[in-house]
Amino acid sequence: MRTVAFCLFSLAFLFLGAPQAKAWGDYGHIAVCEMAYDMLTAPARAEVDRILKKDGEYSTFKVACTDEDNPPKLRRLEHFFNLPRDRLFIDGTECPQASASPCLISAIMKDWTALRSGQSSDATKAAKLKGLGHWVGDIHQPLHISFADDQGGNLINANARCSYGLHSAWDTCIFVSRFLKIVITKETPFAEVLDRITAVSGDLRKGIRPEERAAWGDDNPWQWAKESYQIALQPGVSYCIMTNGECWYDDERRTYQGGRKRSVRVTDEYLDAYAPVVEQRLSQAAVRLAHMLNVAFDPAYPPAEP
């Protein structure tokens, strides 16, 4: 069985600066799934526990949600949703790549359908449970709804308070610096890191207002992608530069084709400005994941109106 300790090296390596293509890094995925687990109904939580225990690979749901990144699985295309630079909105449910290619939206719906099916084996349910927990986190990270040529901001440098790429700043740096607020090295015991993530997750969950939970608890992944894309295109995020109605890589090049990379200064002001956005996206992901698992595993959900 993989316990939380298996992530120690990968998490420390992530924070110390390895270029990443993960949404939220393992830290954010753990936070999303910890919050979602706490919002499950008793029958849904019992079924999640049963599936994971029988599968035997992970001891907790929150760590199981990192599975698709540790090590990278074969479902590479399902971690993101790429758009052409002249498309500034999302208004439909289909993947924007070629019809035969999957994406985040199709991954979420495929795995959720399998979890709701009475024909799925426990082994299938375990794989889809890990997948769904991961994909719902991914789709709420704004730079996973982005452009292929710059790899979702991985080919944009970041400097000042965060480094190793704009994508990594959104994956990990904002969350660690503004929420975890601890210094993590390779010598940091993972139990200490996990305790901090758990405490922060509890605080974030308690901060979700009932009216927000009611408003966010839908099952329309393309709408979640639309929200992320709207954030990614905000001028302050500095992901792209709006030119002639298109989202250019910089003011000289429409797309990134190699060579000189541009840099974004991710300052304390940047981190402070987007910490509330990260908080909302993590919270929305948790609410929506909990909703999907409650629907899949609790026949009495949602409760009848009084």
Per-residue pLDDT of 102-152, as tens digits, reads 889 999 999 999 999 999 999 999 999 999 999 999 999 999 999 999 999
Residue 227 lies in a domain: yes
Helix 221-232 with 122-139: angle, nearest 10 deg: 30
Residue 255 lies in a domain: no
Residue 198 lies in a domain: yes
CB 269 within 8 A of CB 121: no
> What pLDDT, on the 0 to 100 scale, is given for residue 75?
86
Residue 89 lies in a domain: yes
Residue 167 lies in a domain: no
CATH number of domain containing 199: 1.10.575.10
Which runs of consecutive H residues, i.e. helices, occur in 66-180? Answer: 104-116, 122-139, 166-168, 174-175
> What pLDDT, on the 0 to 100 scale, is given for residue 17?
35
CB 212 within 8 A of CB 283: yes
Domain that holds residue 287: 4-148+182-234+281-297
Q: How many Cα atoms within 13 Å fall on the side-chain side of residue 149? A: 17
Residue 54 lies in a domain: yes
pTM of the model: 0.91
**In the predicted structure, residue 262 carries a pLDDT above the cut 50:** yes
**In the predicted structure, residue 306 carries a pLDDT above the cut 60:** no
pLDDT band of 71, cuts 50, 70, 90: confident
Residue 144 lies in a domain: yes
Question: What size, in residues, is the chain?
Answer: 306
CB 281 within 8 A of CB 142: yes
Question: At residue 18, what is the residue type?
Answer: A
> What pLDDT, on the 0 to 100 scale, is given for residue 204?
98
Give me the numbers of helices (H) and strands (E) for the chain, helices first please.
12, 6
Residue 269 lies in a domain: no
Encode pLDDT of 212-256 as tens digits.
Answer: 999 998 889 999 999 999 999 999 999 999 999 999 999 999 999
The tally of domains found in the chain comes to 1
> What pLDDT, on the 0 to 100 scale, is given for residue 6?
33
Q: What is the DSSP letter of 262?
A: P
